[in-house]
Amino acid sequence: MKTIFTLLLLASFMFAQAPVDKLTPGLKMKLNESDQNEQILVWVYFKDKGLNKDTYFNNPLLVVSEKSLQRRAKVFPENKLITIEDLP
């Protein structure tokens, strides 16, 4: 039993992700300069958009309105009407 536990523990350390710095240098500086109770507005970008990305690109109406697509069609090519940033 101890052997199995040890192997599982070692396996979990082997596949652990390296820590990722999630704060930009500018945000770190702002946090250091601000009061502890001060509210700071930030943009949060999610990189993992799930497995259904193709579904959204194939049917952009799932993401934005028809009116938005018409506006975008004036300045973007038809295959670039939505971007990865538009996806939920």
**DSSP string of 43-74?**
--------S-HHHHHH-GGGTS-HHHHHHHHT
Task: Report DSSP state, residue 80.
Answer: G
pLDDT at 17 over 70: no
Higher pLDDT, 22 or 74: 74
What is the per-residue pLDDT across 29-88, written as a single tens digit (0 to 9) for each? 999 999 989 998 988 877 788 888 889 999 999 999 999 999 999 999 988 999 998 988
Contacts with 63 (C-beta within 8 Å, 6 or more apart), sequence order: 56, 82, 86, 87, 88
Contacts with 56 (C-beta within 8 Å, 6 or more apart), sequence order: 62, 63, 82, 86, 87, 88
User: What pLDDT score does 16 carry?
Assistant: 64
In a 3-state reduction of DSSP, which class is residue 28?
helix
